[in-house]
Structure 1
């Protein structure tokens, strides 16, 4: 853990996504909260997206991590990840980051 799931409108190309996935991995690693081997990053394209009833592209990063980080640590990570996303796609679409804590006692592997 963590797992970073990047949900995005389908029109983003591999030329944009591949460097973004690398940048998100490095951002999570640079936070000092995780070991490199524990970080998983994936894209999930979305189709027929709507914002406020209009066909508009958007992106959202869901960060799944085990409970136990402080609110300040989660906020710093969220802010850094959003900044990384905006560096890569800011002119194309709006983006959000959601932190989801996973209960280690109920997680199965």
Structure 2
């Protein structure tokens, strides 16, 4: 853990996604909260995105991690990941980051 799931418009190309996935991995690693081998990053294309009922693309990063980090650590990671998203997406679309704590007692592998 963590698992970073990047939800994006289907038409976002590999020329954007490949460097972004690498940058998200490095951002999580640079936080000092995780070992490189524990970080998972994947993309999930979204079909027919709408905002306020209008065809408008958006992106969101869901970060799943086990409990145990402080709120300050989670906020710093969230802000760093959002900055990484914004750097790679420029002004093409809005982006958000959601931190989701996974209960290790009920997590199965």
TM-score under structure 2 length normalisation:
0.99
Question: Could you tell me how far apart the structure 2 residues matched to 1:38 and 1:90 are?
Answer: 28
What is the match of residue 46 of structure 1? 46
Question: Could you tell me how far apart the structure 1 residues matched to 2:89 and 2:56 are?
Answer: 14
What is the match of residue 37 of structure 2? 37
What is the match of residue 104 of structure 2? 104
What is the match of residue 59 of structure 1? 59
Alignment of 1:1-109 (within 5 A): 1-109=1-109
Question: Could you tell me how far apart the structure 1 residues matched to 2:49 and 2:26 are?
Answer: 28
Deviation at 1:91, TM superposition (A): 1.5
TM-score under structure 1 length normalisation:
0.99
Question: Could you tell me how far apart the structure 2 residues matched to 1:93 and 1:67 are?
Answer: 30
Question: Could you tell me how far apart the structure 1 residues matched to 2:13 and 2:93 are?
Answer: 13
Superposition RMSD in Å:
0.5
Find runs of 4+ consecutive structure 1 residues off by over 6 angstroms.
none
Structure 1: gaps spanning 5 or more residues: none
